[in-house]
Structure 1
């Protein structure tokens, strides 16, 4: 088993402490700038594709690669629902640089972890997960990212979600007087709280159905 210590320090004022995996942590996925080129097999569920086309918003109707839209809609009810729920984002995910969009999603998590209620924070996490799942699936099935970059992107999002959750919990405990943070604007720095990412997350190899195994 491999582990990666991601966000913590062991003493107030010290620099973040990284385990041996972190020194060899893979670089962020390098986005491919070319158009989506992958060819998909016929949709698994033609009836689902017809229902999707009937409900398809204008943002997707005139977009690129209708065969990819049909393939996703006919093979994955989850992705089909995500495209219908947020068609503007789905349309962007088909044409934008996926690395830049993922960076924006992760940056949004960092912002929402500061000063939001628990209900709002949980809703923001779910919304970010939905966007990341759709973005990564489109980059994957469309051939823009090879497997190593897909698993790295899934792991990056898992890391960011966990860090945002830890930061929110630490700030909430600080505000309630249960602990005193050295710097509430950077709650995990010098806090003494350690989270180890094990297995596939520690190796930057999470897949779509992976559990997140942690030692806290």
Structure 2
């Protein structure tokens, strides 16, 4: 079913002039979608800005099923650090805009809304992590790992906690991650080099997701839920984490 056929409600524009300005950008869309755009932009300057910036993409996206549009928005491309940063922020804008409109119009349920935002976080985290681990592999900093290990991040894992872990992200949520790496993939003599490489990759991953540029940001990223964050590196070996939880972990952990 198309987006338009599933509209159940539209908001009333709090700022009619802003809503009308946004509506005028989309003269060829069906009237029910144009009315939704008017109400959304008239209530949310953020959505009004996204509608103007992503005008061409959202025009095409709203002619079909929102699920197909979401899949398209989540396509991430970029073979350089700067290109991937741009692609991630574009995906954030498009998913936020599509989800906001689907939410306001009653097209998606609450579970679908939070699920779409969480799916963005999952895809973005995976893309940023594997890219940065790939940088370390190509520099020869992860012993025994080749290009075939990039997709699995050479044993690194981003464990989603909080709202992301529960698939309950909202529009302003940050993401809480525990970063681990599988130390069993590395010889004992290579452990320290591997850990140092994963720490560097993790820090760059956080920058890639959190840095606020002229393109925006993806997600504020918090790593402080890891074992004993005051004294441990930002990426912890799985063995060390297991020992911590068995012997020192508090009840809430």
Q: Same fold (TM over 0.5)?
A: yes
2:142 aligned partner: 179
1:94 aligned partner: 62
The count of corresponding residues between Structure 1 and Structure 2 is 177
1:128 aligned partner: 91
Structure 1 CA distance, aligned partners of 2:4 and 2:21? 30
Map Cα deviations across residues 112-158 of structure 1 (whole Å, 9 max, x no partner). Answer: 25xx2211111111111111111111222222211111111111111
Could you tell me whether the CA contact under 8 Å between 1:44 and 1:75 is conserved in 2? yes
Residue 204 (str. 1) matches residue 176 (str. 2) = no
Residue 105 (str. 1) matches residue 73 (str. 2) = yes
**Greater gyration radius:** 2
1:78 aligned partner: 46
Structure 1 CA distance, aligned partners of 2:12 and 2:61? 21
State the TM-score, normalized to the length of structure 1: 0.74
State the TM-score, normalized to the length of structure 2: 0.64
Residue 43 (str. 1) matches residue 6 (str. 2) = no
Structure 2 CA distance, aligned partners of 1:33 and 1:122? 29
User: 1:180 Cα deviation (Å)?
Assistant: 4.5
Could you tell me whether the CA contact under 8 Å between 1:83 and 1:90 is conserved in 2? yes
1:186 to 1:45, Cα distance in 2 relative to 1, 3 A: farther
User: Paired residue for 2:28, among 62, 68, 93?
Assistant: 62
User: 1:81 Cα deviation (Å)?
Assistant: 1.3
Could you tell me whether the CA contact under 8 Å between 2:11 and 2:40 is conserved in 1? no
1:145 aligned partner: 108
Unaligned runs of 5+ residues in structure 1 are 1-30
Structure 1 counterpart SS, 2:169: coil
Structure 2 CA distance, aligned partners of 1:97 and 1:181? 45
Structure 1 counterpart SS, 2:160: strand
Structure 2 counterpart SS, 1:191: helix
Map Cα deviations across residues 78-101 of structure 1 (whole Å, 9 max, x no partner). Answer: 211111112121112322211122
Could you tell me whether the CA contact under 8 Å between 1:152 and 1:204 is conserved in 2? yes
User: Paired residue for 2:132, among 156, 165, 169?
Assistant: 169
Which protein has greater RCO, CA pairs closer than 8 Å, 6+ apart? Answer: 1
Map Cα deviations across residues 162-191 of structure 1 (whole Å, 9 max, x no partner). Answer: 000001101111122222464524514272
**In angstroms, what is the RMSD of aligned CA positions?**
2.2
Map Cα deviations across residues 21-76 of structure 1 (whole Å, 9 max, x no partner). Answer: xxxxxxxxxx88771322223201123224334xx33xx11212222011111011
